[in-house]
Structure 1
Amino acid sequence: MRTPPVAAVGDRPPPRRVGPLTQTHIVRFAGAGGDFNPLHHDGAFAATAGFDRPIAMGQLTAALLAAWLTDWCGVENLREYGVRFTAPLAIGDVVELSGEVTSLAPGDDARTLATMELAATRDGTTLMSGRAVIVVADG
């Protein structure tokens, strides 16, 4: 079990950039999750839906954001995770994953919990916002 990270209000773990997103990323995620909607792999179909290229599943963006977070804090220290989709991630995009500790509070088990505001962005456009609660070390 990893030691919880030391964190204070205002702390920002180092952001991560992922991409450019490829068709292979989307197809692999589709295979893992079973989402074979043509919006995610067929350019002509994506165009009929108003997109200039196939878009990733929202859950792919959520998974990238969760992976960034848990690489920093340890999945065993994650207590809550929720996201809100605001714009699609498309083939060729580079996404930046980031977050900030916004509050600290005692947990039910006498451990300190940090609330974090999370974001996945592309060139300044928010693709996804989120919130997580993690266990942190006193320090």
Structure 2
Amino acid sequence: MSTTAHPVPEVGQEAAPRTFPPMTRTDYVTYQGASGDFHPLHHDEVYARSVGFPSVFSVGMLQAGMLATYVTDWLGVEEIRRFKVRFVDQMWPDDELTCKARVSDITTAPDGGRRVTLELTALRGAGTPALLGTAEFVLDPAA
């Protein structure tokens, strides 16, 4: 376990929401360069329109990374044990992403720590879900 103390939240507790700045095509291309996913749907406007989309859209793992950053900023990167997401909707240029987390369960982990399960939501600027997911952390019971 980490030596960094994180307070053990209570069931039902919600983290303060975090809204990331509007996403840009440059964000998409920067992420594509880091991930190696160069599918033209995410950077080529002409191609995206030719196959029926109104514009390019973000690689879903970019939003997943933002959501993971949000929850690990709250409960600690060294404490995370599981992170799962389901992609619900595309993120378009100029969309903001608002991340939310709620504690859904707390149990005792095998090592005596507290296993904290979160329900996660990442909303597009219009308020519709882009991602839904869960995360599990193990926190020191003395924290």
TM-score where L is the length of structure 2: 0.92
Corresponding residue for residue 137 of structure 2: 134
RMSD: 1.3
Instruction: Give 1:96's match in structure 2, choosing from 95, 98, 106.
Output: 98
In structure 1, what is the Cα distance between the partners aligned to 2:139 and 2:129? 27
The one-letter amino acid of 2:43's match is H
How big is the shift at 1:6?
2.2
Corresponding residue for residue 109 of structure 1: 111
Question: Alignment length, in residue pairs?
Answer: 139
In structure 1, what is the Cα distance between the partners aligned to 2:132 and 2:67? 10
Is the Cα–Cα contact under 8 Å of residues 114 and 134 in structure 1 kept in the other structure?
A: yes
Matched, 1:57 2:49: no
Corresponding residue for residue 128 of structure 2: 125
Corresponding residue for residue 34 of structure 2: 32
Corresponding residue for residue 81 of structure 1: 83
In structure 1, what is the Cα distance between the partners aligned to 2:102 and 2:58? 25
Is the Cα–Cα contact under 8 Å of residues 101 and 115 in structure 1 kept in the other structure?
A: yes
In structure 1, what is the Cα distance between the partners aligned to 2:95 and 2:117? 28
- Is there any run of 5+ residues in structure 1 with no aligned partner, and where? none
Is the Cα–Cα contact under 8 Å of residues 12 and 98 in structure 1 kept in the other structure?
A: yes
Moved more, 40-49 or 101-110: 40-49
How big is the shift at 1:137?
4.6
Corresponding residue for residue 47 of structure 1: 49
Deviation by residue 1:25-79 (Cα, 9 ceiling, x = unmatched) = 1111111100111100011111123221110101001001001111111110101
SS in 2 for 1:83: strand
TM-score where L is the length of structure 1: 0.94
In structure 2, what is the Cα distance between the partners aligned to 1:135 and 1:22? 35
The one-letter amino acid of 1:20's match is P
Corresponding residue for residue 15 of structure 1: 17
In structure 2, what is the Cα distance between the partners aligned to 1:48 and 1:106? 53
The share of aligned pairs that are identical, in percent, is 37
- Is there any run of 5+ residues in structure 2 with no aligned partner, and where? none
In structure 2, what is the Cα distance between the partners aligned to 1:63 and 1:31? 15
Is the Cα–Cα contact under 8 Å of residues 23 and 93 in structure 2 kept in the other structure?
A: yes
